[in-house]
Structure 1
């Protein structure tokens, strides 16, 4: 299993952002096999973590036309900066 960790410094959010974020979450889950997608905003910081079964799913998701458009808007309007990490989940614990 893999996780994509998206961390951003927010510049400005608007109504279009909220609609786009919901659409991207649904698209990732319904069409690309994302297992779970969680996002949290605190102050001007946002973190989103999504879980995937394969790097191929992540690659296809990254290349999706709508997702590319959302990323472009994010760079130009919504985020002052961001980082993306793709990591392999080695262990999972729960209680």
Structure 2
């Protein structure tokens, strides 16, 4: 990722994943790249931004709450969710409606 996501005119939704990583890679980098590519192919996916320096913040953008729910239930995504304790010491997900962008 090397630019700010090009999102449409609001409203749309943002899923914010905030985390602290555990020690070691444990397959994280490869899995993160693969799951992002799968997310990009999902109906309703609008874009992604992320940063990590100590704390990690990943934001994915979606057309609807239904698209977010479908992504949460995607079989590959569910497999990755089962490994979160291996990769994250602490994490939180927030779902927000974007009403304004400037």
Say which SS state the counterpart of residue 42 (structure 2) adopts. helix
Distance 1:24 1:32, change over 3 A: farther
Asked whether the 8 Å contact 2:17–2:91 carries over to 1, the reply is yes
| Structure 1: stretches of 5+ with no match in the other structure | none
Distance 1:90 1:26, change over 3 A: same
Q: CA deviation at 1:31?
A: 2.5
Q: CA deviation at 1:34?
A: 1.3
2:72 to 56, 62, 67: 62
Cα RMSD, aligned residues only: 1.2
TM-score of the superposed pair, with normalisation by structure 1: 0.88
Q: Deviations over 1:62-84 (max 9, x none)?
A: 00111111111112x11001000
TM-score of the superposed pair, with normalisation by structure 2: 0.83
Residue 89 in structure 1 maps to residue 70 in structure 2: no
Tell me how many residue pairs correspond in the alignment. 91
Asked whether the 8 Å contact 2:20–2:89 carries over to 1, the reply is yes
